[in-house]
Amino acid sequence: STSPIKDTDQVRTLLQLCVERYYISAGQANAELFQRGMSCSYGPLGMELRRNVLEQWWHSVTRSRAQVFGVNTLSSCKDRETDAQRQLKIVECEQIKQILEQKEVSNEQLIQKVKLFLQMSPFLRTDLLQGAMEQFVPSLELINRKLPFGLAETGLCFQPSDGSGCPAEVTQTSLVWFCSPRTSSQWLDHWTRQRLKWWRKFALSPSDFSSSDVSEEELIETASRGVKIIYNFPWGQETLEMLWSRGDTELLQMHKGARSKLQCRDGRRSVPHVVSITGNMDRGLMAFLSNSLQQLKREDGKQRLKQRKVLKLHPVLTPVKVALDIGRGATMELRQVCEGLLQELMEEKISVWPGYLETVSTSMEQLQSKYDEMGVLFTVVISENTLESGLLQVRSRDTTIKETMHISEIKNFLSRYIAAAANI
């Protein structure tokens, strides 16, 4: 229903908002990285959003079942064998310079030396799968060789450039699920449902998130089935998460076919099959931001048509839950009240925006549209009235309704609101 022109506008609006409202750092190159689903330089709000998304992923994957354990593997490694076409290596300049500066070496010898040096250099991981596969055997003791179980990890991975010479970073989430061969297809379906439910839980328009089976042609060699979790961006569909049912090929390869070492108990004794679930959380951030941006037309007081932009991020994900501002009254005293309230909320781990520190005078309307674009859930205004009666004004991002509340109630109100939103 939307024309391509409007979509380009939409993308531009979103990226501009992300820069202006402290989600990502300024600069064309940085915005491009972000749009392409790569890790970029995040501002304070983007950083907090990423923290929240990763926290929710971790919680949903590790705390939902007893059989998921977290691991943490190295991002660079010397020993791993890999058949990736383009490998990223870490090279110490000083050492390669020493090779290049050697005198009386033939062309051929030089080439050989550089090649050998590269071969010996550690490489950077491109995904978290290898690490989990390596952790499989040591994990068997944990679970008494009983299937199914999973290993979860989040971390930075590096992707080779497509000829541009500039490799990219991606924040990956990975659950590697080991299960009995008979059940691997069912588990693939189970995790697809779980993951799609997770994405949709935090969405404003859940239908923009969908899953689709990988076609025969797209199947990777070791996999029997694959499912993509897709987001419908204004510029087209992109994959947020990949689920593969990979069989036991890679486990056997890595452990050199030592079947007995790999065997688990699942009624019979068998080498488990692997279901891998790999997400790109940088693109996930972009999807949640894109999904939550609403542009609403409305008339202002002078009957001019204005556009109101609101970032309706899910209460659990939104980086700033409440902004504290001061209205009319003695500035110094009001600031002190704000300072106290800020401390109280922070101790409750509710993230607060200290709007009261701002000394440039802005109209309440301008301030409100700034907070709406930041995705701030509630705005609290402390004024003369608060000093007299303890009453303050709370304005909701989502309803735009302003309520009056006693200052002693605000902490509980916010805690309850966020907790309720988390449990839906």
When binding is defined by CB under 8 A, the residue of 1, 2, 93, 363 that contacts a copy of itself is: 93
Nearer to a copy of itself, 55 or 398 (CB): 55
Tokens 């994959």 belong to residue? 239
User: Which amino acid belongs to residue 265?
Assistant: R
Decide whether 159 or 278 has the Cβ nearer to a copy of itself. 159
Q: Which x/- pattern over 379-418 shows residues binding a copy of itself (rule: CB under 8 A)? A: ----------------------------------------
Residue showing tokens 């499912």: 227
Q: Pick out residues in 315-374 that bind a copy of itself (CB under 8 A).
A: 339, 342, 346-347, 349, 352, 354, 357-360
The window from 3-11, 111-119, 193-201, 401-409 that contacts a copy of itself (CB under 8 A) reads 111-119
* Residues 141-160 as x/- pattern, contact with a copy of itself by CB under 8 A: -xxx-x------x--x-x-x
CA–CA separation, 44 and 21 (whole Å): 9
Q: Which pair of structure tokens corresponds to residue 151?
A: 């290993």
Which residues inside 38-67 make contact with a copy of itself, applying CB under 8 A?
Answer: 39-44, 46-48, 50-51, 59, 63-64, 66-67
Instruction: Give CA–CA dist 118/86, Å, rounded.
Output: 13
Q: Which stretch binds a copy of itself (CB under 8 A): 91-99, 180-188, 325-333, 396-404?
A: 91-99
Site for a copy of itself contains 87 (CB under 8 A): yes
Stretch that binds a copy of itself, among 6-14, 22-30, 308-316, 363-371 (CB under 8 A): 22-30
Residue of the chain from 36, 80, 88, 252 that contacts a copy of itself (CB under 8 A) = 88
Q: What does the alpha-carbon distance between residue 155 and residue 214 come to, in Å, rounded to a whole number?
A: 25
Which residue type does 237 have? Q
* Residue among 3 and 164 whose Cβ is closer to a copy of itself: 164
Collapsing DSSP to helix, strand or coil, 103 comes out as: coil
- CB of 124: closest distance to a copy of itself in angstroms? 7
Q: Which two tokens stand for residue 187?
A: 């588990």
Q: Kindly tell me which residue out of 70, 257, 340, 390 binds a copy of itself, with binding defined by CB under 8 A.
A: 70
Q: How far is the CB of 27 from a copy of itself (least distance, A)?
A: 9
Count of positions on this chain that bind a copy of itself (CB under 8 A): 83
Decide: is 94 part of the binding site for a copy of itself (CB under 8 A): yes
Spatial separation of the C-alpha atoms in residues 59 and 346, rounded to whole Å: 21
Q: What is the Cβ-side half-sphere exposure of residue 397, based on CA atoms within 13 angstroms?
A: 28
Give the integer Cα–Cα distance in Å for 184 and 190.
Answer: 10
**Burial of residue 229, with CB atoms counted within 10 A of its CB: 0-12 exposed, 13-18 middle, 19 or more buried:** buried
Distance of CA 159 to the CA centre of its chain: 17
Which strands make up the sheet holding 225-233, listed edge to edge? 68-70, 149-159, 168-179, 273-280, 236-247, 225-233, 209-213
Q: Does 107 bind a copy of itself (CB under 8 A)?
A: yes
| Choice from 6, 89, 261, 328 touching a copy of itself (CB under 8 A) | 89
- 106 scored as a contact of a copy of itself (CB under 8 A): yes
For the chain, what is the radius of gyration of the CA atoms? 26
Are 299 and 306 contacting, i.e. CB atoms less than 8 angstroms apart? Answer: yes
Shortest distance in whole angstroms from residue 112 CB to a copy of itself = 9
Least distance (Å) between residue 255 CB and a copy of itself: 15
Binder to a copy of itself among 78, 193, 268, 416 (CB under 8 A)?
78
CA atoms within 13 A on the CB side of 223: 20
